[in-house]
Each structure stands twice: as structure tokens, then as C-alpha cells.
Amino acid sequence: MSAQRQNTLRVGFIGVGRMGRPMARHVAGAGFPVLAFDTHAEALQGVEEAGIKPAASISEIAANADFIIVIVPTDEDVLSICCGGDGLIAGAAPGTIIAVASSVRPETVRAVHDEARERRIGVLDMPLTKGVRGAEAGDMTLLVGGAESDLEKARPAMECFSTAIHYLGPVGAAQVAKTVNNLLLWANLVSVFESLEFGVRLGVDPARLRDALFDCSADSWVLRELEFILPTWPAKDMENALRMAKESGLDLPLAERVAELVAAVDRPAMDRLLGADGGDESKEP
């Protein structure tokens, strides 16, 4: 990340959990004024030490930020925070840009965009990839949909926590791309887990097996990051993907099977596999 400098773009974060907090820290460290709000008060503890000012409400963020990043769990959360009488859109000034960094359905971010357009507020869908480790390292890959002019205005702040920004098209396109990414991610997780389990069952040490596979044609991001992956959202991701496929008239038989199988691939199961001796069950799932 570049040396700290004074930046005039005021950045707001709604949601400073395991992803949002390190992202906000990178932005503040680059010299941007950063304001943050979270419905869980404990998430805001200690943020001032990183140069982040805690906000008392969503309305305070709306009134005092030029670029607002929303990182919350569900489609319903996004709509509640952005829309309605007490939402970001109602309180933000024209020219403000709202980036939906949550992984949601395309129609959700389009609904936010349609409401925001009436107040001349820009909306980007900006789902995140590479997980918590990417957020902490500041080397996330961002998928972006929306007006390219809004992307360019927000880019200096976005580059504080990312090393690759891919523009996909209008609002909603990035959520489609993220869903495609998630389909491949969870299918790969099931495949890696079952394949390693097969090798271990036949007597091959899992650490040696993985080291060998890193140099083979089966190498993948999931294979390399397996001990760090927290499979928190596969059920939601697969449900959204299958719903989108059904609405478009497309059958995804492999995805339907992955949705069934991925439920059994939780963090304790992966720890047991990698340990090959019962694993470390003290890790948080």
C-alpha cells in the first residue's frame, strides 16, 4: 500500500466485521477520512486506533461520506440499509456513491440502483473475492458493475484494499460474476475435500499429497488455501445460484449436487482431514 497522504474522498463503511474492518483500516491508512457504523457495537471497539471514526447511525454515514461501502450478510440487510425512510439513499447527497460489497442477487442491487437514481446517487455492485485473508492483506479482487464514471471516482479508495478491479458492465453484472465464482469455488471445495480424503484413506500423508499436487495439473486456489477457508455461506451462495438459474430457464445438475454435498464440508471436517489424526477441533468453524 502506498504511503499515507491526504485524500479528500470521504469513505463510509456499513459493516466492520471480519471483512469490513481490515478494508476500512487500509483506507484510513492511506489518508482517507473514514467513518464506520455497525449494528453490533462491539465491532466498533478500537477502530479509532486505526484512524477510523465510529458513527452512531446509518444516517450519520449517509450525511458525511462521498463513497459508502455496504458489507452486510443478506439481501434483506442490503435493502433495509440502503432503501426506505431511514436508509442511505434518503440521507445521502446527490453525487454520493454507494457500493454494495455483499454477495446478493442481481435484482437486489438493481432495486437499490433504481431507487438511488431518482436522487442522483450512484450505485456500484462490488462483491469481494479472496476472503478475509485478502481483506487483511489488502490484495482483494473486486468485481464491479455500474457506471464507469462512478467506478473511476471511487477507484482511489478501492485500490487501498485490492490489487485487481474488474469492470463487468451495468449494475448487477458483478453479482452475476460473483455467483459464477461461488459456483466454481464450492464445487472445487467439494472436489478437493473428497479427493484428499480418498488419498488419505489409501494411506498417503495429506501434507505430502498437497505439496505434490501444488506442482501438478490439479493445483488450485482452494487446494492451497484449504486450511484458511471458512465455509460460512455456501448454502446461501448455492441457493442464490440455483434460483438465478431457474429464473433464466437453465438446469445446473452439477451445481444441484454440489449444493447437497458442500453442507458436509465444514471447518472441523477439513481440520480432521488435514490432520489425518483427528485434527484440531479447537478451531472456530
Catalytic residue ranges: 178
Cβ burial, residue 74 (10 Å; 0-12/13-18/19+): middle
CA dihedral over 237, 238, 244, 250, signed as positive or negative = positive
Strands 34-37 and 11-14: parallel
Q: Three cell numbers at 119?
A: 436522487
Number of residues in the chain: 285
Of 34, 38, 14, residue with least CA distance to 25: 34
- Map 185-231 to HEC letters: HHHHHHHHHHHHHHHHHCCCCHHHHHHHHCCCCCCCHHHHHHHHCCC
Q: Work out the burial of residue 49: count CB atoms within 10 Å of its CB; fewer than 13 is exposed, 13-18 middle, 19 or more buried.
A: exposed
The residues, any chain, with a CB within 8 Å of residue 213's CB and separated by 6 or more, are 219, 223
253: left (phi over 0), alpha (psi -120 to 50) or beta: alpha
C-beta separation of 16 from 43 below 8 A: yes
Look up residue 77 and give its three cell numbers: 440487510
How far apart are the C-alpha atoms of 228 and 250, rounded to whole Å?
33
Q: C-alpha grid cell for residue 67?
A: 463513497
